[in-house]
Amino acid sequence: MNILVIGATGGSGRAVCDALLERGHRVTALARRASRLTPRAGLERVDGDATDRATLDRLLPGHDAVVVTLGISEPMLRVRLRGAQGTPDDVRSRGTAELIRAARAAGVRRVIVQSSYGVGPTRDLLGLVDRALFALMIKPQIFDSELQESLLRGSELDWTIVQPVHLTDHEAAERFTSTDGRTRNRKVTRRAVAEVHADLVEQHSMIGETVSVSG
């Protein structure tokens, strides 16, 4: 399959690219500095802005599915105090809005978007510590994720929203998934979440569902 990964140079985006390539898929990696990714067989690196209409219109035709892992990779305390320096605060919602429009025009229906546990249908399931973290440290990012999810749910695309709990960079691939907000642990590795994305691409499953992912 031909898969477009938007936000491919962040930790989650790199993990998704790795998982898809290891399964033999062809991957187009879109990010502002995608050319910094290590060249690999089956990987096309495209430097570009995920919120740019012309870029998405050019790239989307010919792809079977899209995985979106947009976000702000700067330290959250610095972002909270000074704002994001390299990425717009609303990159998730802006990028997703343009993707929905471009996917509709290109006839690409399968879209998988990574959000965060505690957004939308899992909002009321957060524990007290995580509620405080969201309110004090990442409130703008969570607001943007809420808008991103609402845009996707209002579209006619074959979407799935992936909501991981706290992400780590360990190598373990164990994961627990649910569509009712149940979780097993408060942390999960990016590698494990990437495997969930790859499963969803291959199985074309859980359309219109929000998938919680924990370790």
Q: What's the total number of domains in the chain?
A: 1
Q: Which pLDDT belongs to residue 151?
A: 97
DSSP E strand stretches across 107-172? 110-114, 158-164, 166-168
pLDDT value of residue 84: 52
Find the domain containing 46 and state its range. 2-214
CA distances from 153 to 21, 93, 96 (A): 28, 12, 11
Cα angle 60, 66, 68 (rounded to 5 degrees) comes to 115
Type and span of the H or E element at 153: helix 139-153
- Listed as ranges, residues in the chain with pLDDT below 50 are 74-81
CA 151 to CA 41: how far, in whole Å? 34
Write the CATH number for 164: 3.40.50.720
* Residue 66: Cβ within 10 Å count: 27
In this prediction, residue 96 carries a pLDDT of: 97
- At 130 the pLDDT is 80
Using the structure block, give the residue that is written with the tokens 């709990």.
165
The predicted structure's pLDDT at residue 31: 96
In the chain, the amino acid numbered 183 is T
pLDDT of residue 78: 47
